[in-house]
Amino acid sequence: MAPILVLWDIDGTLIHSGGAGERALVRATRLAEDADLDLRQIDWAGRTDRHIAEMILEHLGRPVTLEAANAIVEAYLDSLRDEIGARQGTILPGIAAILEYIDGSHRFAQGLLTGNVARGAETKLAHFDLWRYFPFGAFADDAIHRKDLGPHALRKATAHHGTRFSPDRTFVIGDTPHDITCGKAIGAHTLAVATGKFTEDALREHQPTAVFTDLADTDAFFAVLEEKAASA
């Protein structure tokens, strides 16, 4: 039987970048569009980096072209490398232990399912020495809308492990309603964690498989995985 597949969101789920991601977007908008950006005016949480770049252009009243969006993303990646080192980010509770455990177990496999472009994901996670846990992932490079990323993650998991993963033994973990929608779109279980911008109640409205305050109780986390995968 194929391992249980765990697909992770990054921001607000594995880590907080200490505002580095937000700060890098503001700097990128200054560099690429010569404009001041108030991120609070954009509903960016849970969106892919490429989608956010388009939303910024729209918000500024600039033409939304692939070229202009790519220029913002490139400027963002340059700025992120500076910002990530300058900010006090953190690995979220329970994450280090869970990633290490899964890494050493052949009953589980893990990858990324994130709105970050791959180079941004690497910059953020390498800073916390977590990049090494993820041999594959679906990124904003694969699709502009987060809900379309799931099939890419399954395809890459299959390519990496040489076995087919079934959606009912797959868990998508994230901190926003977009993560829940994205997981449901591939028929996966969805675990929502309230370590980002959304409360447990707000997440529960979107009916994920389970909601956690955080993942500090690693036994409780693995108990949900075992239970749901066994009933699949």
Among 9-17, 28-36, 76-84, 134-142, the segment contacting Mg ion (CB under 5 A): 9-17
Among 8-16, 51-59, 81-89, 224-232, the segment contacting Mg ion (CB under 5 A): 8-16
Among 10-18, 67-75, 162-170, 203-211, the segment contacting Mg ion (CB under 5 A): 10-18
Residue 102 is which amino acid?
I
Cβ nearer to Mg ion, comparing 12 with 120: 12
> Cβ-closest residue to Mg ion?
12
Task: Spell out, one character per residue from 178 to 197, where the chain touches Mg ion: x when CB under 5 A holds, - when not.
Answer: --------------------
Q: Does 12 bind Mg ion (CB under 5 A)?
A: yes
Residue environment code for 53-90, b if the CB has 16+ CB neighbours within 10 A, otherwise e: bbbbbebbeeeeeeebbebbbbbbbebbeebbeebebe
Cβ nearer to Mg ion, comparing 62 with 93: 93
* DSSP string covering 111-128: EEE-SS-HHHHHHHHHHT
Cα–Cα distance between 9 and 11 in angstroms, integer?
A: 6
Indicate if the alpha-carbon torsion angle 184, 189, 194, 195 is positive or negative. negative
Q: Show the beta-strand stretches assigned E in the chain.
A: 4-8, 15-16, 90-91, 108-113, 137-138, 170-174, 189-193, 210-212
Q: Does 175 bind Mg ion (CB under 5 A)?
A: yes
Task: Spell out, one character per residue from 123 to 162, where the chain touches Mg ion: x when CB under 5 A holds, - when not.
Answer: ----------------------------------------
Burial class (CB in 10 A: 0-12, 13-18, 19+), 232: exposed
Mode of pairing for the β-strands spanning 15-16 and 90-91? antiparallel
Q: Does 49 bind Mg ion (CB under 5 A)?
A: no
Cβ nearer to Mg ion, comparing 9 with 142: 9
Q: Other CB atoms closer than 10 Å to residue 122's CB: what's the count?
A: 17
Q: Tell me the helices (H) and strands (E) count for the chain, helix number first.
A: 9, 8
Among 76-84, 148-156, 157-165, 168-176, the segment contacting Mg ion (CB under 5 A): 168-176
Cα–Cα distance between 183 and 115 in angstroms, integer?
A: 13
Among 2-10, 104-112, 205-213, 215-223, the segment contacting Mg ion (CB under 5 A): 2-10
Closest CA to 229 of 186, 170, 158: 170
Name the minimum Å distance from CB 1 to Mg ion: 30
Name the minimum Å distance from CB 128 to Mg ion: 15
- Residue from 4, 6, 9, 208 touching Mg ion (CB under 5 A): that is 9
Cβ nearer to Mg ion, comparing 33 with 175: 175
Q: Residue numbers of the site for Mg ion (CB under 5 A)?
A: 9, 11-12, 175
